[in-house]
Amino acid sequence: MRFFTRLLLSVLFCTCASAGAAPASEDGYDLWLRYRALPAAEAARLAPHARAIVAPATTSPMLDAAIGELQRGVGGWLGTAPARTDEVRAGAIVLAMPATRGATAAWFDGLGQEGYRVLRTRLEGQSVTVIAANTDRGLLYGSFAYLRGIATDGAQKAPDLRSTPRLPLRLLNHWDDLNRHVERGYAGASIWHWWNLPDILDQRYTDYARANASLGINGAVLNNVNAKPDILTAPFIAKAAALANVLRPYGIKVYLSVRWSTPLELKATATADPLDPAVAAWWRAKSDELYAAIPDFGGFLVKANSEGQPGPHDYHRSHAEGANMLARAVAPHGGIVMWRAFVYSEDKPTDRARQAFDQFTPLDGQFDKNVIVQVKNGPIDFQPREPVHPLFGAMPRTPLLMEFQITKEYLGFSTHLAYLGTMFEETLRTDLRPGIGAGGQAATVTRVLDGTLDHGQATGMAGVANIGTDRNWSGSHFDQANWYVFGRLAWNPEAGAEAIAREWAAQTFSRAPRVVDTVSAMMMASREAVVDYMTPLGLHHVMGTGHHHGPAPWVDNLARPDWNPVYYHRADKAGIGFDRTAHGKGGSGSAGQYAPALARLYEDPASTPENLLLWFHHLPWTYTTRSGRPLWDELVHRYDAGVTAVAAMQKQWDSLAPYIDPQRHADTAQRLKVQHREALWWRDASIAYFQSINGLPLPAGARAPAQSLDDYKALKFPYPPGNG
Amino acid sequence: MRFFTRLLLSVLFCTCASAGAAPASEDGYDLWLRYRALPAAEAARLAPHARAIVAPATTSPMLDAAIGELQRGVGGWLGTAPARTDEVRAGAIVLAMPATRGATAAWFDGLGQEGYRVLRTRLEGQSVTVIAANTDRGLLYGSFAYLRGIATDGAQKAPDLRSTPRLPLRLLNHWDDLNRHVERGYAGASIWHWWNLPDILDQRYTDYARANASLGINGAVLNNVNAKPDILTAPFIAKAAALANVLRPYGIKVYLSVRWSTPLELKATATADPLDPAVAAWWRAKSDELYAAIPDFGGFLVKANSEGQPGPHDYHRSHAEGANMLARAVAPHGGIVMWRAFVYSEDKPTDRARQAFDQFTPLDGQFDKNVIVQVKNGPIDFQPREPVHPLFGAMPRTPLLMEFQITKEYLGFSTHLAYLGTMFEETLRTDLRPGIGAGGQAATVTRVLDGTLDHGQATGMAGVANIGTDRNWSGSHFDQANWYVFGRLAWNPEAGAEAIAREWAAQTFSRAPRVVDTVSAMMMASREAVVDYMTPLGLHHVMGTGHHHGPAPWVDNLARPDWNPVYYHRADKAGIGFDRTAHGKGGSGSAGQYAPALARLYEDPASTPENLLLWFHHLPWTYTTRSGRPLWDELVHRYDAGVTAVAAMQKQWDSLAPYIDPQRHADTAQRLKVQHREALWWRDASIAYFQSINGLPLPAGARAPAQSLDDYKALKFPYPPGNG
């Protein structure tokens, strides 16, 4: 009886809610967890199968979180939340563990500690939906998977899902300063309100945790890798502990970035030398203090001897000596140390792209078991396109963690639409030993991370977060997709960027096929568009100084050679590109850092993928590219293609106006308009500059830049977000 | 027919929505404009009178804004928004101007350009609700007043409202930097996303405008008074123009803070001397440029020769010479200059409290007609309690604008609950010539602002905004009330802080009398509690250096004497307080700056209001206060009273748990808990310090401070919000 009343109400409510022509405005705060009232037909399909939630009587915060989310989701869709009960009844959602009465052992096969199974079956004679797992964490992930299933298919099919994560460490790295500035943040201030912590707990912390749990993200490094000593003082440990308490029920561990010289700067020791017993003792005591406050504390992330940060080199110690000292402090508590490989020499003028490899490969095998070396996806710095970092596959005795950047430091901030799923996937799928694994599995980067390629230890992925206080969390609605795809790929690196784009679009905007097809098509083409209008054919690091906004290929006046765009593109009258072939051929030798099969490809322009051509080769402007066009013509062609692709995205988005709520539609349309103008600017400024170098005429039919090179050089960008 | 369907749906929906025990969680984004579905009985009362909106056929953006808000409000309450039509029908809301067919001339009597009349009447034979005004601005304000009426009384009575604003300038001052930092901001980053402007217009700008329009606020100074030259460059003018376009339909003009030396710093002139023709010409041309972009631009706000800012004194010119030069640049366009009187000598060691008076009174009569001198409510700097600023009433030939601080720089940031309505009212109601006006109207500060006391020109009030990107806008839910009461008092300085607290509580939380009574009681007692536990009996400026958080009466090491707390409290073995009586009596003479009748009161401790005792007098610790207690005992008693009052607020708030949604209830409870702990800290640290000076035992029964004075002195507060 109550059920039919509820259904009637839902139907009436939905009729009412959908009376207007356009969907109601949304601000994006709900991310992909929107749970808006279902259309009547879908509600009628779901309601008979979501009448109650049956859960183990002995509860836990994580189980409560799972049930809370199921109630929120089903409650949002149907108008009334299913009640929790401990008796199986027809139409219930049953959260089952192996000890659950009537549970089938096969449900739990191979689920491990984090996996789940969701199926429609009979239990104690009743038709129910089972979410099965060996742990309450598995039930949490299974509950989110169940909800995702309904959100993407409208309860058309009986749920039938099974998944286990391939990587154990699925982490966000927040580059959030203690004053709430976010380095490379384009979504407002830090969501961590350090000043108000530990006493005042914003609802946003919980909603952040829910969003991450929905993806399987299980760790968060709370503060910037450019860390301050304060983070390890008692007041800040208490603040971090308060956050840990909010995140724990959602399966998320807290980690901290630490400054190498903390004990010295806090005047607790006279040195930061890792081999000084007093220093090691300080770190051990500090770790004990941390674990007393946060029993499941994850560990430390360290940026050392990198871009001015202190580190063990200051004491003539190696990265391994530095990392191991910290690792021994957290080892008794089960903690880990993530030691970043983003280093480039403080003094040596060798090719920056090769320096991390040069510094770290000699240390392979010297790191303690609980040290993981965290490596950026490419050897320079989060460019729109880079080749894979040569360290992957080159440290067989050292577990490596992937560091992706979710925030778009070099890809148009939160203004430009650029779906990073294709970029992440491109790296993860790179075959490090092409041809070698012909008989079996390719030697992909994913297999470095899951440990099957060499060292045997599965690690994971870290993503530099794009999250801030902006109401939609990520600055733009489409940038939510980059958080989403990072999490989904961290769970399963082979899930497929397009499939993930489709499920994100369905949850975030609408299940209408027209919407899913169009939005995912925009997303899938978007990153290549950015590469084309910013850094085609393997160009890189030609952005404006410091803020990294807009084109500045002309910059040649910075203190270090390898901070200057001219260092990277090396354009001259004769040609363009960075020769990274073997020393014997006059190159920097970076191509030779890859495994031989891959290095061979990169040594020869003819076999180098054209999208990395100028990364590895300095070529004459007349070099014939695969299209048959000379290099200069091809370059201009690519810039144009990038601009054209943005115009196409604008048209695609415009066509969706009837399907998307006005607020999110207008916001995105505004950003696409800016992106189009800035794509043109990138094209024009780049062409004007390179033409000033090579003196060549524009290819036939190509439009001249709208302004003079001096005009572009004169542009100033005060107060950029995310800087410094 | 449609009406009954709508009503039925509303009733069903409301039944459904209120099925749970507690109200649904809210995040505070909707402020006092919540428009949640009405209970059935109230909906049934409202619906017959809100069936349509009849509006003039010739529309305007402001009229559209009024209609949009009526549709949003009624639509939220009833489930369906009334349609706009141009034909009068029964049960319609009619927006009437004098030319409206059938309109009664008396409706418009005395409404001027901004006032409104709302009444239930008959028009063309139909029963309608009329919102009448002479202008579309009046209709906008009237529409918000209509909605406020329903929100506060649940549509019990037929509306019958009439109001005109007493002050023409009702302004927010945003101390927002161009990098989105907010000086003295405790609600996140600046809502102005300068980087994304002018192309990307956040929905938040519109919602900000709606909230202000609902109060009658009609101007916003967008940027910090510590201004950067960039704000007057072409890109930033375009950004400001884009904001002006969003705010204009809500009746809000844009103003800018400008840096005195802008043309010099932009290298457009060789000096910033106001008498240099090139400087004046630059400002004229810049004003022309501004008005070309923003035709209704309001004018400039200037902080000059104050706290390191440049100004006309740098060229040996007076404030009047500086202000007039700018005023002549904007005068042809109808613009104004607001010149801040918050100055204290760069070199002279006289009492800081007297310096603005000393500098400005000689200039009375020298300012151009379109210059308004903007004066803080008190002579020091936004303390929890100050006497009125002596400039009020002392510049009979110069219009003065009141500057209140809505953001709580010195009153516990956004953590402590402190309703500022009582503080604003205390200033506005201060009788500047007590006894003199016995036969007629008192010489209140309000009458300085409305021009009736002396200079004849009505000015207004500026409030330093407490608005940021926090989801609830103001950092805490209760701080929304300070934005609200500022706006309501700017419209009518005599509206009454308690009445305003009650209408805010009803709209923001619930119309339930229990809620309105309890919330308004908390609010009305809250500011006095803060005064008691921070700065009782006229103490002032004893807060921590720079960040102004927490007690630091011991600080004596800052560069300028008048930056040190010891300068202000002057405690020694014998006594405490700042002697501001006449020079002849050994005081600083500040008391004598007030009109004679008021000065006489302040010269004598016996007639000085006890809450300002130590502001004006240095008294022995044994001085007998009005309670009969010696001064030292009374001081301790006040600290205790402050702490006790916070404990009482906690209990009051706890009792409201059944009536308030869990999210807002929990957030406020957390803040009250912090406030209680920090009130204790204020008490204990202050007592420990003063005891170290006077060596006196604690009064009988008083609890000793929990920690040692050194413990309190050792506390550090890195990364405070709003600093610098």
Q: Do A80 and B19 touch (CB under 8 A)?
A: yes
Distances (CA, A) of A23 to A45, A663, B240, B696: 22, 10, 31, 70
- Nearest CB partner across the interface for A469, out of B80, B188, B670: B188
Residues near A405 by beta carbon (within 8 Å), at least 6 away in sequence: A184, A376, A382, A463, A464
**Cβ-contact A392, A432 below 8 angstroms:** yes
Place of tokens 């014998």: B574
Mean pLDDT, rounded, of chain B: 95
Q: What is the pLDDT of residue A347?
A: 72
Q: Do B188 and A27 touch (CB under 8 A)?
A: no
Residue A214 CA from chain centroid, whole number: 15
Q: What is the pLDDT of residue B398?
A: 97
Q: Do A674 and B720 touch (CB under 8 A)?
A: no
DSSP state of B630: B
Q: Which residues in chain A touch residue B230, judged by CB atoms under 8 angstroms apart?
A: 718-719
Q: What is the pLDDT of residue B20?
A: 43
What's the rounded Cα separation, in Å, for the pair A471 and B204?
A: 9
Nearest residue in chain A measured CA to CA from B470: A469
Domains assigned to chain B: 25-163 (3.30.379.10), 172-508 (3.20.20.80)
What's the rounded Cα separation, in Å, for the pair A241 and A246?
A: 9
Residue range A168-189: mean pLDDT, rounded: 97
Q: Select the residue from A8, A14, A16 to test the B interface by mutation, using most B Cβ atoms within 10 A.
A: A16
pLDDT digits (tens, 9 = 90+) for A287-340: 999 999 999 999 999 999 999 999 999 999 999 999 999 999 999 999 999 999
**Cβ-contact B619, B612 below 8 angstroms:** no
pLDDT digits (tens, 9 = 90+) for B573-595: 999 999 999 988 889 999 999 99
Nearest residue in chain B measured CA to CA from A414: B196
Nearest residue in chain B measured CA to CA from A188: B189
- Nearest CB partner across the interface for B230, out of A471, A674, A718: A718
Given the residues A381, A403, A426, A603, select the one marked as catalytic: A381
Give the tokens for residue B397: 């030939």
What is the value of pTM for the model shown? 0.95
Task: Tell whether the model's pLDDT for residue A19 goes beyond 50.
Answer: no
Place of tokens 């992330």: A301
Q: List, as own/partner pairs, every contact residues A264-271 make where C-beta atoms lie below 8 angstroms and the sequence separation is at least 24, other chains included.
A: A265/A229, A266/A229, A266/A232, A266/A233, A271/A315
What's the rounded Cα separation, in Å, for the pair B58 and A586?
A: 76
Interchain CB contact of A471 with B (< 8 Å):
yes
> Could you tell me which of B690, B397, B655, B464 has the C-alpha nearest to residue B571?
B690
b/e per residue B117-155 (b: at least 16 CB within 10 A):
bbbebebeebebbbbbbbbbbbbbbbbbbbbbbbbbebb
Choose the weakest-confidence range: A618-632, B423-437, B661-675: B423-437
pLDDT digits (tens, 9 = 90+) for A598-651: 999 999 999 999 999 999 999 999 999 999 999 999 999 999 999 999 999 999
Nearest residue in chain A measured CA to CA from B414: A196
Residues near A1 by beta carbon (within 8 Å), at least 6 away in sequence: none
Q: What is the pLDDT of residue B19?
A: 38
Residues near A513 by beta carbon (within 8 Å), at least 6 away in sequence: none
Q: SS3 of B460, please? A: strand
Mean pLDDT, rounded, of chain A: 95
Task: Tell whether the model's pLDDT for residue B4 goes beyond 60.
Answer: no
Distances (CA, A) of A490 to A218, A401, B574: 10, 11, 70
Q: What is the pLDDT of residue A438?
A: 53
Write out residues 387-426 of A within 8 Å (CB-CB) of B: 413, 415
Which is more confidently placed, B522 or B12?
A: B522
Residue range B657-669: mean pLDDT, rounded: 97
DSSP state of B99: T
Which is more confidently placed, B2 or B98?
A: B98
Interchain CB contact of B719 with A (< 8 Å):
yes
Q: What is the pLDDT of residue B402?
A: 98
Task: Tell whether the model's pLDDT for residue A8 goes beyond 70.
Answer: no
DSSP state of A635: H
Three state DSSP letters for A20-45:
CCCCCCCCCCCCCCCCCCCCHHHHHH
Shortest CA gap A190–chain B (Å): 9
Percentage of chain B exceeding pLDDT 90: 92
Q: What is the pLDDT of residue B484?
A: 99
What's the rounded Cα separation, in Å, for the pair A309 and A306?
A: 5
Task: Tell whether the model's pLDDT for residue A12 goes beyond 60.
Answer: no
Task: Tell whether the model's pLDDT for residue A11 goes beyond 80.
Answer: no
Number of H helices, E strands in chain A: 21, 16
Sign of CA dihedral B623, B629, B633, B638: negative
Q: How confident is the model at residue B438 (pLDDT cuts 50, 70, 90)?
A: low
Q: What is the pLDDT of residue B344?
A: 84
DSSP state of B132: E
Nearest residue in chain B measured CA to CA from A195: B720
Task: Tell whether the model's pLDDT for residue A551 goes beyond 80.
Answer: yes
- Nearest CB partner across the interface for A719, out of B188, B194, B470: B194
Q: How confident is the model at residue B5 (pLDDT cuts 50, 70, 90)?
A: very low
- Nearest CB partner across the interface for B195, out of A12, A178, A719: A719
Q: How confident is the model at residue A344 (pLDDT cuts 50, 70, 90)?
A: confident
What's the rounded Cα separation, in Å, for the pair B530 and B528?
A: 5
pLDDT digits (tens, 9 = 90+) for B500-558: 999 999 999 999 999 999 999 999 999 999 999 999 999 999 999 999 999 999 999 99
> Could you tell me which of B525, B549, B541 has the C-alpha nearest to residue B641?
B525
Nearest residue in chain A measured CA to CA from B229: A718
Residues A38, A39, A40, A41: what is their CA dihedral angle, to the nearest 10 degrees? -100
pLDDT digits (tens, 9 = 90+) for A24-61: 899 999 999 999 999 999 999 999 999 999 998 888 99
Given the residues B42, B183, B358, B409, select the one marked as catalytic: B409
Nearest residue in chain B measured CA to CA from A204: B471
Q: Do A195 and B667 touch (CB under 8 A)?
A: no
Choose the weakest-confidence range: A417-421, A484-488, B43-47, B436-440: B436-440
**Cβ-contact A326, A302 below 8 angstroms:** yes
Task: Tell whether the model's pLDDT for residue A703 goes beyond 80.
Answer: yes
Shortest CA gap A589–chain B (Å): 41
Interchain CB contact of B259 with A (< 8 Å):
no
Distances (CA, A) of B693 to B612, B632, B689: 22, 12, 7
Task: Tell whether the model's pLDDT for residue B8 goes beyond 50.
Answer: no
**Cβ-contact B74, B48 below 8 angstroms:** no
Shortest CA gap A719–chain B (Å): 5
Residue range A108-130: mean pLDDT, rounded: 97
What's the rounded Cα separation, in Å, for the pair B460 and B171?
A: 8
pLDDT digits (tens, 9 = 90+) for B303-331: 999 999 999 999 999 999 999 999 999 99
Write out residues 174-213 of B within 8 Å (CB-CB) of A: 177-180, 188-189, 194-196, 199-204
A83-85 and A52-54 beta bridge pairing: parallel
Q: How confident is the model at residue B437 (pLDDT cuts 50, 70, 90)?
A: low
Given the residues A276, A409, A470, A528, select the one marked as catalytic: A409
Q: Do A719 and B667 touch (CB under 8 A)?
A: no
Give the tokens for residue B349: 């060691």
Is A409 an annotated catalytic residue? yes
Q: Do A195 and B720 touch (CB under 8 A)?
A: yes
Q: What is the pLDDT of residue A18?
A: 39
Sequence letter at residue A351: D
Q: What residues pair up with A619 in beta bridges, in sequence order?
A: A576
Q: Select the residue from B202, B203, B661, B723 to test the A interface by mutation, using most A Cβ atoms within 10 A.
A: B203
Interchain CB contact of A719 with B (< 8 Å):
yes
Place of tokens 């402020």: B31
Task: Tell whether the model's pLDDT for residue B102 goes beyond 50.
Answer: yes
Q: SS3 of A533, please? A: helix
Shortest CA gap A642–chain B (Å): 21
Beta strands (DSSP E) in A653-720 are none
pLDDT digits (tens, 9 = 90+) for A660-684: 999 999 999 999 999 999 999 999 9
Q: What is the pLDDT of residue B21?
A: 54
Q: Which residues in chain B touch residue A177, judged by CB atoms under 8 angstroms apart?
A: 719
Task: Tell whether the model's pLDDT for residue A20 goes beyond 50.
Answer: no
Q: How confident is the model at residue A9 (pLDDT cuts 50, 70, 90)?
A: very low
What's the rounded Cα separation, in Å, for the pair B218 and B65?
A: 14
Q: How confident is the model at residue A10 (pLDDT cuts 50, 70, 90)?
A: very low
Q: Which residues in chain B touch residue A230, judged by CB atoms under 8 angstroms apart?
A: 718-719
**Cβ-contact B617, B608 below 8 angstroms:** yes
**Cβ-contact B575, B621 below 8 angstroms:** yes
What's the rounded Cα separation, in Å, for the pair B69 and B62?
A: 11
Q: What is the pLDDT of residue B440?
A: 74
What's the rounded Cα separation, in Å, for the pair B241 and B293?
A: 6
Interchain CB contact of B25 with A (< 8 Å):
yes
Is B307 an annotated catalytic residue? yes
